[in-house]
Amino acid sequence: MLKINLLPEEFRKPTLSPIEQFHRTPLMWIIVGILVAVPLLFFMPIVLHLHQLRQLDAKIQALTPSKLEVDKLQRSLEHLRAQEAAFQRVAKGEGLWAKRLNILSDVAADGVWFSELTLDPAKGLVIRGSAIEEANPTQLVQSLEADKEFMSAIKEIKIESIKRVQDGEIEVTNFTLNCALAETPP
């Protein structure tokens, strides 16, 4: 197609190349729309997931005190179950334990007394006591280890602590013994 423009040069409108006129075409607006829409399509799911993440974090924060309480109850329950198992093992030899505790008092030398007997699931029979002057916790342990009746339910005896305390003119030795229970006491 041939165009003839008879206007003088100074009155003529400058002609734009097709590239310079591209911004006026609908194709350009479609491309710009696509360039804007594509990042938005990728950005929207991220925003939605971040919103869901914040909601879930809020729910977790709301449930944390309850979870801590449940964890505490579970630990208490585990401790009670362990105690129950230990007591059941002791109960299997009901009459024998009375005999063993009697042996414990018989082998204790003069000047030794027991302040606490505890059945701990992890440590076994825990004996806390004191001795004065010549009485020695080590002798007590040796006497107990020498008694076969007592040791039939005990795997080993360990001295956990020995502490000497001066009480006026008398020296008192406080001690703690751990008697690990045998797996199957007779």
Higher pLDDT, 62 or 83: 62
Per domain, the residue ranges of the chain are: 23-92, 94-181
* pLDDT attached to residue 105: 86
Q: What percent of the chain has pLDDT over 90?
A: 20
3-state secondary structure of 182: coil
**Which pLDDT band holds residue 26 (cuts at 50, 70, 90)?**
confident
Measure the CA–CA gap between 148 and 183, rounded to whole angstroms. 16
Over residues 65-77, the mean pLDDT reads 93
Task: Give me the helices (H) in 93-136, please.
Answer: 94-107
Longest dimension (CA), the chain: 138
The arithmetic mean of pLDDT across residues 141-169, rounded, is 87
Torsion of CA 94, 100, 106, 108, to 10 degrees: -130
Class of domain 94-181 as given by CATH: alpha beta
**Which pTM was predicted?**
0.50
pLDDT in tens, 89-127: 666 655 577 788 888 888 888 888 899 988 887 888 899
Long-range pairs of 136-144 with CB within 8 A, sequence gap ≥ 24: 136/109, 136/173, 137/112, 137/162, 137/173, 137/175, 137/177, 139/109, 140/107, 140/108, 140/109, 140/112, 140/177, 141/177, 143/107, 143/109, 144/103, 144/104, 144/107, 144/179
Q: For the packed helices 94-107 and 26-92, what is the interaxial angle rounded to 10 degrees? A: 70
What's the confidence (pLDDT) of residue 48?
A: 92
